[in-house]
C-alpha cells in the first residue's frame, strides 16, 4: 500500500514541477494589471474545478485585496443553464457580467467541457485576457485558447485538480508576497 502513496505523491510532484515559472509570473502580472485598471477576475470551472475557482477567488479578494468572483451561485447557474443550455451558461454569464477591464480564468481538467470552451470563445470575442488550466490530452480544445495556458500531462482527475490548485494558489501567494 505504501507504494501506491509514493507513486501518487510522485505524480503530484512531477505535475507541480512541470510548469514554466515564466507562465506563473505572467499570470501574476496580468492579474495585477487588471486590478490596477479596476477590473474583476472571473474564475470558472465545473465540479472540483469550480471548488478551485471559489478558493482562488476568495483568496484573491480577501488576502490579496483583488476583486475576484465565480459564477458558483446555484440560482444563477441553474437559471442560465435552463434558459440558454448548459453548454452556454458560462458564455452568457460573461456576456452579462464582464466588462472591458476584466479578466477570465477558466479551469477544466479535460479541457473539453463545452460550457468552458464557449466561455473561452466569449472571453476572446470580448477582448478579455484569458488564462486556461487543463489536463488530459495535449490536444484538448481549451489548451491553446488563452493568452496563457497551463496544462498538466495527466488523465487522473484528482492529480490534475491538485496541481491546478497548487499552480493558481502559488500565483496568488506570489502576488501577496510581492505587495509586502
d(CA 45, CA 53): 6
Q: What strand order describes the sheet that includes 68-69?
A: 68-69, 41-45, 103-108, 130-134, 148-151
What is the residue-level pLDDT of the chain in tens, covering all 180 positions? 699 999 999 999 999 999 999 999 999 999 999 999 999 999 999 999 999 999 999 999 999 999 999 999 999 999 999 999 999 999 999 999 999 999 999 999 999 999 999 999 999 999 999 999 999 999 999 999 999 999 999 999 999 999 999 999 999 999 999 976
d(CA 177, CA 157): 30
**What are the distances in angstroms from CA 161 to CA 30, 34, 95, 135, 158?**
22, 25, 27, 9, 5
What's this model's pTM, rounded to 2 decimal places?
0.97
12-28 burial by CB neighbour count: b if 16+ within 10 A, else e? beebeeebeeebbeebb
Which of 146, 93, 74, 136 lies closest to 111 in space, CA to CA? 136
pLDDT, residue 6, reads: 96
pLDDT, residue 180, reads: 61
What domains appear along the chain, each with residue ranges and CATH number? 2-179 (3.40.50.10490)
Amino acid at each position: 500500500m505504501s507504494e501506491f502513496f509514493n507513486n501518487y505523491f510522485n505524480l503530484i510532484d512531477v505535475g507541480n514541477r512541470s510548469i514554466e515559472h515564466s507562465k506563473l509570473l505572467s499570470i501574476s502580472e496580468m492579474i495585477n494589471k487588471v486590478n490596477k485598471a479596476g477590473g474583476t477576475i472571473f474564475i470558472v470551472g465545473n465540479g472540483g474545478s469550480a471548488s478551485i475557482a471559489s478558493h482562488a477567488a476568495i483568496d484573491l479578494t480577501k488576502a490579496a485585496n483583488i476583486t475576484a468572483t465565480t459564477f458558483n451561485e446555484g440560482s444563477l447557474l441553474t437559471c442560465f443553464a435552463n434558459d440558454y443550455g448548459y453548454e452556454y451558461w458560462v458564455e452568457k454569464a460573461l456576456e452579462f457580467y464582464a466588462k472591458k477591464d476584466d479578466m477570465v480564468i477558466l479551469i477544466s481538467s479535460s479541457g473539453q467541457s463545452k460550457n468552458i470552451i464557449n466561455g473561452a470563445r466569449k472571453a476572446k470575442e470580448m477582448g478579455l485576457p484569458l488564462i486556461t488550466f487543463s489536463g488530459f490530452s495535449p490536444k484538448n480544445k481549451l489548451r491553446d485558447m488563452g493568452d496563457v495556458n497551463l496544462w498538466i500531462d495527466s488523465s487522473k482527475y484528482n492529480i490534475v485538480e491538485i496541481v491546478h490548485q497548487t499552480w493558481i494558489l502559488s500565483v496568488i501567494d506570489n502576488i501577496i508576497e510581492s505587495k509586502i
